[in-house]
Amino acid sequence: MVDIRWSIGAIDDIESISTYISRDYPEKASEIVKGIVDKIEQLRQFPNLGRKFPDRDDEKIREIIFKKYRIVYEINEDIVEILVIAHGSRLLKI
């Protein structure tokens, strides 16, 4: 089992997602945030769950998808660091 660490950027991302969705659909915002967090928690047991991040030639940088959101993370020994959480329509530079 690995530990999960959230970057400051990823924390900001999830707060922004929640705020944006809450404007029109407060119940949906908590459902989406919970789903993202639950998906991230799966990485504790299965850190290689996601695919290699397509824009980087680095096996340590990976991504998983939850609904329309991309969750980009880095595996470092026994720690998974969540780097970015973004809507799939966004162009990501990691």
What global pTM score does this model have? Answer: 0.90
Which whole number is the average pLDDT over 66-81?
95
CA-CA distance, 50 to 29, in Å (whole number)?
23
Residue 91 confidence (pLDDT): 67
Maximum CA pair distance of the chain?
A: 41
Mean predicted lDDT score pLDDT of the chain: 93
Residue 71 confidence (pLDDT): 97
Q: What is the CA 13 to chain-centroid distance, rounded? A: 9
CA-CA distance, 66 to 72, in Å (whole number)?
11
Q: Which domains does the chain possess?
A: 3-87 (3.30.2310.20)
Task: Please provide residue 3's backbone torsions phi and psi, each rounded to the nearest 5 degrees.
Answer: -90, 150
CA-CA distance, 77 to 64, in Å (whole number)?
19
